Amino acid sequence: MKPEFPGLSPLLLQKDQPVPPDWDFESGSGVVLLIPDADRKAIDQTPWSDILENRLSAYPKTANPVFISMPGGERAVVVFVADQLQTFKALTLARKVIGPLIADRLEEINILCLLDDEVAAGAMAEALLAAAHAALFQLPKITGKASEPNNLKAMRYFGNLGNADFGYAEATAEGNNLARWLTHLPGNYLTPGIYRDLAESLARQEGWKTEFYDRDKLEELGAGAFLSVVEASPVRDAGILHMEYRPPGAEGKPLALVGKGICFDTGGSNLKVGGSMLGMHGDMQGSAVALGAFLAITRMKFDQPVDCWLALAENHIGSRAVKCNDVITALDGTTIELINTDAEGRMVLSDTLALISRGKPRAIIDYATLTGAVVSALGQRMAGAITNRRDWVEPLIQAGERCGERVWPFPYEDDYDEDLESQVADTLQCRTKGPGDHIYAARLLGRFVAKDIGWVHVDMASSGTHPGGLAQIPTDLQGFGVRFGVEWLKKVANE
C-alpha cells in the first residue's frame, strides 16, 4: 500500500454575507454566535434573544463556549470573544467549538459574527476555518477498511470578518495536515527512500526543482557528520533533498527551510532502552514541518524565492555503527568527537547547514525534534528557539504570538563553547552529562552557519505532541511550526 496524501477536505466557503434579519437555518445545521465578551447584551438584539438568555442563565459566566440545542433543531454555540484576541486563544476557542459540531456530523456551519473589534473578528474567522480543516483531516491508518466520510460540506460566514485571510488559513492548514500525515506514517511506510519519492512526487505537482545528494555524493563532499549516522543503515537510501520554489519574477538569494528527517532512531551504539524506542518513527517531524511550510508558501504564492532542505536518514545499530569517542570530519572540515550516537540529529543537520551556507541564503530556519532538555525547560506547549541574531529575539516571540504557534528564545552565547572543548578534535558533539543540552546543540549547529547569514533554530521536541490537542489541532500529534515558518519568512522577506 503506497501512502498518498489526501490534501484538504472539500469545503464550500461563503463569506462577506450580511447577518440575516431572520435566523432561519436548516434543521440540523450548526450556528456559531461570536459575541463580544465586553458587551454580552449584544445577544438582546438578536432574533433568538429570549431563548439564548434563558438557556445561558443555566451556565456560569466563565463557561465558554456554550452549546445549546435550539427549538428549530439547530445546534447553536455561543462564543464570548475578548477584544484584541490573541491568535493562540482564538485557535484554542475554535477547536473547542468545531470539534463537537463535526462530531455531531453536521453538514453545514453558519458563523454569525456580532463583534465590533476588527482584530478579534478576523482572528476568530480564520481560526474557525483552520480548526475545521484540522478536525476534518484523518491521519493515515493502515487498514483495508474505508475511511469514514466527512459530513461537513460548507461553512458560511455572516457579518464582520475583520481582516480575515482565508487563503492563509487554508494554505497553512494544508501544510499542517501534510506535516501530521507524514509524521504519523509507520517507519516501514516512510523510509528515507519512500520519503524522497513522496517529496519528489509532490515537487513535480507543485513545480519545484529538486536535487538529491545521495550517499555517494555526500562521501565525495566529505560530509562525515551526516554519514556517521548512516554507517549501519542496511539500505543506502539516506541523503539530503534540496527543493526550490521560484515564483515568477523573483530575484535574489533564497530564504531556506531546513528539517531533521530521521525516519527511525534506534540510538545507534547508545541504544535506546525500555520504551524509549517507541514513537521514534516520528523523529522526522522537523522535516515534515519544513515541507509543510514549503507547501503553504507555495499555496500562498509567496513572492520570494525559498529553498527547502530535508536531511533524510535512519539511525541504525550494527557492526558498522560509529562509537563513542570516534572522531569524524564534517563537510566544512570541522572535526567532531562523538559522545552519544543518540544525538544524531545535530550530526545530519550540521552537514546540511554547512552545505546550505555555501549558497549564501538570505536567512535559514531549521526545525528538529532535537533534545529532551527543551521539553524539561518548556513543557509541551511551545517550542524553543535559538538564533545567531540578538536583535531577532523579541521578533521571534512576536511572530509566534501573531500566528498562534508560540516559541520562546534561549541564549546563544559563545562561552558555552568552553564546555564543548575536546582533547582530540575541534569540538565535542555534545556534553557527557548536565543540563542545557538544547543550548549546546544549537552552539554546535551554529558552527556550520556562516556568520553573515541570519539563522533560527527551532527545537520542537517540546511542541511536536500535546496530549488531547492544542490550539486548533485536535490530535496529540501537532505538526507545530508550519504557521510559524510562514510567519517568520514573511517577516524576514519584508526586512
Any idea which residues carry the catalytic annotation? 272, 346
> What is the CB neighbour count within 10 angstroms for residue 271?
13
Residue 204, classed as helix, strand or coil, is helix
Instruction: Please tell me the total number of residues recorded for the chain in this structure.
Output: 495
Q: 298 is written with which cell numbers?
A: 507555495
Annotate 327-354 with DSSP letters as a single string: EEE-TTS-EEE-S-TT--HHHHHHHHHH
- 8 Å CB contact between 492 and 362: yes
Which of 274, 273, 271 shows the shortest CA–CA distance to 315?
271
- E strands present in 121-280: 154-159, 209-214, 239-245, 255-265
Looking at the DSSP bridge assignments, the partners of residue 168 are none
Where would I find the H helices in 230-344?
285-299
> Do residues 164 and 13 lie in contact, with contact meaning Cβ atoms separated by under 8 Å?
no
Cα atoms found within 13 Å of the Cα of residue 266, Cβ hemisphere only: 14
- To which residue does cell 434573544 refer? 49
Cell of 398: 512576536
Alpha helices in 239-361 (DSSP H): 285-299, 345-357
Distance of alpha carbon 115 from alpha carbon 81, whole angstroms: 8
State how far the Cα of 147 lies from the Cα of 141, in Å rounded to an integer. 9
284 Cβ neighbours under 8 A, 6+ residues apart = 182, 183, 190, 195, 259, 260, 261, 262, 263, 312
SS3 assignment, position 399: helix
